Structure 1
């Protein structure tokens, strides 16, 4: 047994309460980002790099399947569709999360205040129902650290709260590669939400199916989301949250460069090994909000859920015959639960000040089993079938984080936001598969860290703010990252250490007519960066990379003009490099970190009247991406164009929206994402060429 001790807590803990508190500030005072309560976040007044994406905009002439459709205008956010529903989207914020070969790492995800990120820092976007999103807040920079472990960036999803009059909406989308989605949503309220007994509700369900752009990349997904609020009395409200997702997806895997250029749609390993994944997740939450006094608020969130995953990997029979090999089939059953309680006080201490303090507890238990991915038919292995047991362990991970956040209005123009969180993460593994040639690999580790953050904001005018912020964050290894050792031997990879990072940022935000112009400059220095060591057959091992540096600039503009016209533009420059050597057989000091584009660009223009014809177009650019630490392989840069048009009209109380769209208009052949450090050179996950879609949305309003 090996025990590792580290310590971590931070300002994030302080900022988190403010960020999530339901009645944190009055509407004209709110400056803290990412609120889980039904408040409108002020991008202008928040002293941090934050973008708010409106849910109606996300659904406008869109398939409503993936976040990659609608988050292109967020600077600093690299979101790539793998065209592989077995592995989820590839998300990174300022380079954090880019190493992920599946799922989401290094970022904190929340849906209505319930973490979509487990205590170890591993998350997924598959349970986000775009059909019922009210808004998505994307936070970058130092204040992300106030969310605790693995908070290199924060994505907070707020779903719609029902209101009068009641509505029912049916939506559908049909696109290339046999893709289709049906959705149904009902939303409404009894009363205006201010009297005891008033109720609001939003219920949404959808089904999605696709053959997939590549061979063996089909998927089916069923998703349901519900939100029910009950006003208990004039000072308190109870909100019930429910979410369920069921996915069955083939795993097309990566291609070598020659395979990609020869036929980007092929999937040779998937055909041979029948690689696939099934996911079932159900969760529920209960949030209680109470206004204790005119200046004090209490909020409590409780949640619990279960996630079951089965994955078949493309691992040949020979390696699995090693007595310490964990097999090519993974079966996971996870139970998770948590509670977050916070108190907010607004008052004066020489100057106006707001305090928020709270305690966050998260727990996850995991039953992990591994099996051979073949059975023998005589002397011939038949792959894609569950064989003998090769791994059996119970893993526990939990965290307990107290936090405090404060906001000080020092003068009419100058304000100070400061917070700290003390983050503690424990991990324990109990090995239940012990043989003479495979010993007891049980072990435990714990990590602790103080995480402070602070920001000074100065209002040059009512429409122009500048700020300076700094903070410290940390990232522990996830359970998956601990699961495999780089030397191929059995046992958990307890040699992995948590990484720590220090970030400094300066920014400016200016209202220009009906638009907002934002600029941010930043630098992040990281010690013990966790990076991919080797990846093969769906299995990835990790190591610490010494020092890294991320520095760059973000620019965004969102402008409305001439009443019905809207333009958006965003540019990100990110220089992410190793500051020490991380390669075994060459010197990688100064090399670019893989999976991270140095330049990203987005621009869109749309004519969007309330009714009648509408149309729009967008252009997206991504510079080349290194695929390995040695920088000997890379995915080329690409530029793609999309167009959409539609018609909206009303018939009595029925609203109808018919639209069509084309993506990758000029049929560009490009790599949509890369598998970092794939040991066999199968780095490339191709994106589709020109593709089309049509949609119909019909809504009824009851008045």
Structure 2
């Protein structure tokens, strides 16, 4: 009897658990996927074998997360004593499987009526991890330039024409929260790659649902969920004194979690007086108060300091490309910027048909900018938010979706301009109290007329006001109060999508655009206040086709954008950048990309070879532009390359070794309105090679190294347009190398 009792004690624990077999395969070719990680809450991770199989001993239904470096992560529930066949979609997905939220409507990309590009997290890590520049420049119609190491200028379909520095005419969101300031500028340089997971870019006017801005919309998304307890860190280094390190912690708490990350990046820069020092801290809290609600709060703090070497003439470039503009060092031309950005987001399902998302933010910034000609100090704060209601229903046989909401932003800045005496603020020249207010209401109606035809009608009503109260004026003018009102502007959009079949679709749209000048364009650095500067208005016609043919994904868009009251920049005799309305422009263009997996076999030594090609043809001209007695009508639009081409090659092996190669061709770029000076065409080739592996289900390791500008091309990235004294050029680095090490630990 005793022996029977002991035997039962031995058997019972094993009968409590049952074997569950999971086979993981590639969705496109049905081949097994070895090395997939199966994460089980409270247990050690498991890894699929050479046949893609994992066997689990479980007692009750459990939630698994299955991930692989080359595939989309999925989460599902499995039960004891069953077999499961799980298909993972490669990161290179058919367009019909890529979900985007452009125009506030989550649909497969093939069903979206608009030119939308998606930048995945994997795209960011094909390059040196010191900025987003390289990854974004692989997308058709998009170009990021860099005048200094942390001074970005974004051009979406030529929208940088009016941006001598900074990001303007492009609306930016971070986790569905307005990241563009109420004054129309965006401090994109305060973000690190670690603050971004995925990005969507809408090209062209999207004012019907995102308000002011003719260039387009960039929507960044950081991690919104904590899947596991994870500690990670990485260190990167490179030429010109580049050193970057990061540490991050993900900690699950109840049904939510917390993310914390800190990044410190430094570089001496390629040129004299070109150093950068950036520290970024992010804290994010995520929770689900109920099954119908989610709540997120984030704090982002950035401490940024960077030097500005300034633009050079052609003669100076030929003498020494690395020199700074004369006077930049002596006057300590630079920017010091400390920003605190706090957000709160709430999502709730009000019923089966109604849902609401509301996001609020508050931000403060201390900004100092000694420049050759003056010394600027600004202290500012802003707050605002965005709310959106979504209603999904069936009207008879027609599925419909109604979206309605509002966005409001308020900003207050104390802006002071001083003389600059060898890098130290001298006598005050003028001081202004600047108040900016922007708001808009938006509505959108979507209806599926048939299984193949989707129509979208949207519009917004926009309000903008600048109050410029001059407190001190050391010049002959008396202090005064100035107000610039932009009358309520109605921005409509009509779009259609025709689903040819499950693998292809045609889309077309007509949309209006509205872009008021930023307050930095109305109130300039030499003290003038240009209340005559009018908002740009335009209308965009667009036709596109997306499809999948076998292994090929194809995305083509043609557009025509007619812009009136175009704002352009010019430089006066003192070197101060000023702005004016320059009549009209005609902007015709084509953009297309094609990507394909040339080879994919998870069991072979070389598991995958992927290729991507992206072409941009922007044929933009001044249609009606006279200035200073000169007629520039018919000239190319300043600062826009007519043609550019990007080619990408990605190779991944079974041993964890990978290779990424990038080629970029940029056509010659006119640098002044008269088209007498051009930036020469250039070719850039770069590559990154590394080893990436998961060990024991707990450790993630990666070692990598790379090269930029392999051909050692001499080019300028971030030219000054219509520059006084022919100072057009901001020379970019020649051939340079970088490398790094990453590790992660699940606990």
Normalising to structure 2: TM-score of the pair?
A: 0.83
**Cα distance in structure 2, aligned partners of 1:435 and 1:253:** 27
Corresponding residue for residue 392 of structure 2? 346
1:71-110 matches, within 5 Å, as 71-85=136-150, 88-110=151-173
Q: 3-state DSSP class of the match of 1:440?
A: coil
The answer to whether residue 213 in structure 2 is matched with residue 150 in structure 1 is yes
Encode CA deviations 1:277-327: one digit per residue, 9 max, x unaligned: 101111101011110001110111110001121101112xxxxxxxxxxxx
The answer to whether residue 741 in structure 2 is matched with residue 683 in structure 1 is no
Say if 1:519 and 1:556, in contact at 8 Å, map to a contact too: yes
Say if 1:36 and 1:112, in contact at 8 Å, map to a contact too: no
**Cα distance in structure 2, aligned partners of 1:435 and 1:657:** 58
Q: 3-state DSSP class of the match of 1:531?
A: strand
**Cα distance in structure 2, aligned partners of 1:689 and 1:173:** 19
Q: 3-state DSSP class of the match of 2:329?
A: helix
Aligned pair partner of 1:525 in 562, 570, 577: 562
* Structure 1 position 535, deviation (Å): 5.9
Would you say how many aligned residue pairs link Structure 1 and Structure 2?
Answer: 642
Say if 2:206 and 2:217, in contact at 8 Å, map to a contact too: no
1:565-576 matches, within 5 Å, as 565-576=609-620
1:74-473 matches, within 5 Å, as 74-85=139-150, 88-143=151-206, 145-190=208-253, 198-267=255-324, 268-315=326-373, 328-350=374-396, 351-374=398-421, 383-434=422-473, 437-447=476-486, 448-473=488-513
Corresponding residue for residue 48 of structure 1? 114
**Cα distance in structure 2, aligned partners of 1:188 and 1:272:** 48
Say if 1:407 and 1:415, in contact at 8 Å, map to a contact too: yes
Encode CA deviations 1:345-402: one digit per residue, 9 max, x unaligned: 101234111001111111111110011101xxxxxxxx21110111111010111211
**Cα distance in structure 1, aligned partners of 2:723 and 2:269:** 23
Say if 1:142 and 1:453, in contact at 8 Å, map to a contact too: no
Aligned pair partner of 2:101 in 33, 55, 59: 33
**Cα distance in structure 2, aligned partners of 1:359 and 1:672:** 38
Structure 2: any 5+ residue segments left out of the alignment? 1-94, 601-607
Structure 1: any 5+ residue segments left out of the alignment? 1-26, 192-197, 316-327, 375-382
The answer to whether residue 551 in structure 2 is matched with residue 483 in structure 1 is no
The answer to whether residue 553 in structure 2 is matched with residue 513 in structure 1 is no
Encode CA deviations 1:96-141: one digit per residue, 9 max, x unaligned: 1233111101101111122221223211211323124221101113
Say if 1:534 and 1:541, in contact at 8 Å, map to a contact too: yes
Encode CA deviations 1:134-187: one digit per residue, 9 max, x unaligned: 211011134355311124211110111233322211111110100110011222
Encode CA deviations 1:557-582: one digit per residue, 9 max, x unaligned: 22224221221111000011111123
* Structure 1 position 599, deviation (Å): 0.9
* Structure 1 position 515, deviation (Å): 4.5
CA RMSD of aligned residues (A): 2.1
**Cα distance in structure 2, aligned partners of 1:219 and 1:688:** 15
Say if 1:31 and 1:45, in contact at 8 Å, map to a contact too: no
Larger Rg: 2
Encode CA deviations 1:209-247: one digit per residue, 9 max, x unaligned: 000000000110001223211111111111102111111
Say if 2:309 and 2:333, in contact at 8 Å, map to a contact too: yes
The answer to whether residue 732 in structure 2 is matched with residue 695 in structure 1 is no
Cα 1:103–1:667, aligned 2, differ >3 Å: closer, same or farther?
Answer: same
Q: 3-state DSSP class of the match of 2:197?
A: strand
Say if 1:425 and 1:446, in contact at 8 Å, map to a contact too: yes
Say if 1:573 and 1:599, in contact at 8 Å, map to a contact too: yes
Say if 2:177 and 2:386, in contact at 8 Å, map to a contact too: no
Normalising to structure 1: TM-score of the pair?
A: 0.88
Task: Answer 1 or 2: higher relative contact order, Cα 8 Å, separation at least 6.
Answer: 1
Say if 2:214 and 2:538, in contact at 8 Å, map to a contact too: no
Say if 1:162 and 1:188, in contact at 8 Å, map to a contact too: no
Q: 3-state DSSP class of the match of 1:98?
A: helix
Q: 3-state DSSP class of the match of 1:673?
A: coil
**Cα distance in structure 2, aligned partners of 1:610 and 1:541:** 56
Aligned pair partner of 1:626 in 647, 658, 670: 670
**Cα distance in structure 1, aligned partners of 2:530 and 2:131:** 33
Q: 3-state DSSP class of the match of 1:689?
A: coil
Q: 3-state DSSP class of the match of 2:522?
A: helix
Corresponding residue for residue 708 of structure 2? 663
* Structure 1 position 58, deviation (Å): 1.0
Say if 1:129 and 1:224, in contact at 8 Å, map to a contact too: no
**Cα distance in structure 2, aligned partners of 1:407 and 1:647:** 46
**Cα distance in structure 2, aligned partners of 1:694 and 1:342:** 43
* Structure 1 position 529, deviation (Å): 0.6
Corresponding residue for residue 67 of structure 1? 132
Encode CA deviations 1:423-480: one digit per residue, 9 max, x unaligned: 1001111110145722234210111210111111101111100011010011101111
**Cα distance in structure 1, aligned partners of 2:655 and 2:180:** 39
Say if 1:662 and 1:693, in contact at 8 Å, map to a contact too: yes
**Cα distance in structure 1, aligned partners of 2:576 and 2:124:** 34
**Cα distance in structure 2, aligned partners of 1:542 and 1:625:** 20
Farther-moved stretch of structure 1 (510-519 vs 662-671): 510-519
Say if 1:63 and 1:181, in contact at 8 Å, map to a contact too: no
Cα 1:535–1:76, aligned 2, differ >3 Å: closer, same or farther?
Answer: farther
